[in-house]
Amino acid sequence: MDLKLKDKVAIVTGGAKGIGRAVVEGLLSENCRVVFADLDEAASQELQEKYSHRPNDLLFLHGDLSEEAVCESVVKEAVKEMGKINILVNNAGVNDSTGFKCSQHKFLDSLKKNLLHVFSMTKLASDQLIENRGSIVNISSKVSVTGQGGTSGYAAAKGAVNALTREWAVELAAASVTVNTVVPAECWTPLYEKWINTQDDPSAVRKGIADLVPLGRRFTTAEEIADAVVFLASPRSSHTTGQIIFVDGGYTHLDRKLSASKSFHWSE
């Protein structure tokens, strides 16, 4: 299926690794042009080198998106270098384990890292998105609906992302701008792998988590998240808006007996 993304221009925040990188590569595979912003210069340069044969299709911008001035610079540079913005993917963020006993300052810092740039990037890119009848795809997390414990800041930020998806879908509907969110649960990324490797028995912990996922008893891949994002960003999804879509192998919503017993099978 041609997703009709040829020569469209996308901004992807946090595009150097993990889900963000998979989104960047998915968009490039559909002949979209991509601007990605990230703090990790080494990973970003490695990604640029991989696509050095397409120098006009991929632009890396370094900066801390928790600062609104950096968000403004990313939007301006994208328009300057690429000529327009059709797609915004708000992906940047990190589960920083900011619990409810933290200081107010630390809680606000977590919101700054995980939420405020979503607001700033959307606001700043909105004129271009309206002009080009574009699309916004946000990346949330299962903690926004399940809770996790010990991560009040991240949960609050991702819950707000879900709410803003609906709010912005209403606000931008008259301009034919679609706004949707993709929600991962147990998705295998370099950051997840780094955490797993801090455990006493990483292999056992990984298997234990994978066994809780009903569909396939495995982690979701970053590419599977990216496939959903790229479709929602494309003109092929032009009448889908305000949706919060879980790409999680059934982890969040399916009956607990599916995850409690590996021997459970459907039967008539």
Spatial separation of the C-alpha atoms in residues 13 and 29, rounded to whole Å: 18
Query: In 10 A of CB 199, how many CB atoms?
Result: 12
Strand partners, 226: none
DSSP 132-199: TT-EEEEE--THHHH--SS-HHHHHHHHHHHHHHHHHHHHHGGGT-EEEEEE-SSEE-HHHHHHHTTS
| Size (the chain), residues | 268
Query: In 10 A of CB 153, how many CB atoms?
Result: 24
Spatial separation of the C-alpha atoms in residues 206 and 218, rounded to whole Å: 9
Please state the φ and ψ torsions of residue 92, each to the nearest 5 degrees: -60, 140
Query: Among 51, 154, 192, 251, which one carries the catalytic annotation?
Result: 154
Query: In 10 A of CB 193, how many CB atoms?
Result: 13
| 51 classed as catalytic | no
- Could you tell me the CA-to-CA distances from 206 to 154, 210, 212, 254 in Å, in that order? 22, 6, 10, 20
Strands 178-183 and 87-90: unpaired
Q: Which residues are catalytic?
A: 154
